[in-house]
Amino acid sequence: MDIPKTIIIAEAGVNHNGSMKFAKQLIDTAADAGVDYVKFQTFRAENVVVKTAKKATYQQNNMPDTDNSQYHMLKNLELSIEQHYELIEYCKNKSVKFLSTAFDMESIEFLSTLHLGLWKIPSGEITNYPYLKRIARDNQPVILSTGMSTIEEIKAAVHVLTKHGTDKQKITILHCNTQYPTPMQDVNLLAMQTISKEMGVNAGYSDHTLGFEIPIAAIALGATVIEKHFTLNRKMEGPDHKASLEPQELKSMVEAIRNVEKALGSSKKIVSPSEMENKDIARKSIVAACNIEKGEAFTEKNITVKRPGSGISPMLWEEVLGTFASRDFDEDELIEL
């Protein structure tokens, strides 16, 4: 049975710091790592946040400046329409798929014109009824992050999506924790399986922990999508850099995920081709414990069990006892009936 390939989304997010040079370098990094999608964020600051809103604690810690305005921070991280087109073309040239998350209604309308074929809904919009309703109208595949959410809120969001046009089987729900970085004791990875069982859809995992061992564990638990932030350098100033993977780490994560996919195999317990050659070497056969003459009965005293396993299996021990040697056997010679 073939194991379905996990969709890996490399979250560039706003780690371009408003620079097209950095944005393209992030695409280069994602393409080199072998991810499926490189994802940015599409928004207009004035549509997302009131001007008096303050930064989150992790944003304040990661951006040691005196300006505590979330609005000003986001305004400096916007990508223009023209920049979107330029990045999409750059992704095509690098053979990696472009994806972006919309954070306001205007941005949804714009991304809809790009026909990306996939919507990624961030955790913060899971209770945004008008947003969900508009996404549902396109009836495109949806990946829904669920940070800060209860199972009841997830059910409500899925209800809005399916009520207004999204086929439920097109929905993948990502378990997520939106603390940057997420403490290990708060990951609650098994909730991913609960979400899948409760909702009857595929589940995945959007990770904000340090390192990438948790995404690997998520693959082993059945994740069909993995999303992970990455950066050019964790020392760069910006809200998300410190909880992101650096280029070589991203590449290592992708390699590890692909290895785990292969290792999962099927549910059948079989002898693999690679271990067949060891079967005779590691297993044992019934052999002569001493010299045995033709016609002599095989007993507990004159036969024993030793390697290799190319003779009579010791599982036939009872059947061999009491039978008679058809010829002479030397000590350590494999018994033949």
- The span from the CA of 43 to the CA of 106, in Å, is 8
Q: Which residue has the tokens 């638990």?
A: 221
Q: Model-level pTM? A: 0.90
**Mean pLDDT on 71-87:** 95
Q: Tens digits of per-residue pLDDT, 35-46?
A: 999 999 999 999
Is the CATH code 3.30.1490.20 the one for domain 7-264? Answer: no
Structural tokens at position 60: 């304040």
Write down the pLDDT at residue 66.
63
Structural tokens at position 180: 């940057």
Q: Cβ(28)–Cβ(91) under 8 Å?
A: no
16, 170, 208 from 247: Cα distances, Å: 14, 31, 16
Write down the pLDDT at residue 62.
76
Question: Could you tell me the pLDDT band of residue 286, with boundaries at 50, 70 and 90?
Answer: very high
**Mean pLDDT on 139-161:** 98
The mean pLDDT value of the chain amounts to: 95
DSSP states of 196-253: HHHHTSEEEEEE-SSSSHHHHHHHHTT-SEEEEEB-S-TTSSSSSGGGSB-HHHHHHH
Q: Look at residue 279 and tell me whether its pLDDT is greater than 80.
A: yes
φ/ψ of residue 55, rounded to 5: -65, 155
Q: Cβ(37)–Cβ(8) under 8 Å?
A: yes
Domain ranges of the chain: 7-264, 273-320
Looking at the chain, list the stretches that DSSP marks H as alpha helix, in order from N- to C-terminal side: 20-33, 45-48, 57-62, 70-75, 81-93, 105-114, 129-137, 151-163, 191-199, 213-220, 247-264, 276-282, 317-320
Share of the chain above pLDDT 70, in %: 98
Q: Look at residue 75 and tell me whether its pLDDT is greater than 50.
A: yes
- The span from the CA of 255 to the CA of 280, in Å, is 33
Q: Tens digits of per-residue pLDDT, 108-134?
A: 999 999 999 999 999 999 999 999 999
**Mean pLDDT on 4-33:** 96
Q: Look at residue 2 and tell me whether its pLDDT is greater than 70.
A: no
Write down the pLDDT at residue 1.
43
Question: Could you tell me the pLDDT band of residue 182, with boundaries at 50, 70 and 90?
Answer: very high
Write down the pLDDT at residue 308.
97
Sign of CA dihedral 232, 217, 40, 241: negative
CA angle 52, 40, 113 (to 5 degrees): 100
Q: Tens digits of per-residue pLDDT, 228-274?
A: 999 999 999 989 999 999 999 999 999 999 999 999 988 899 999 99
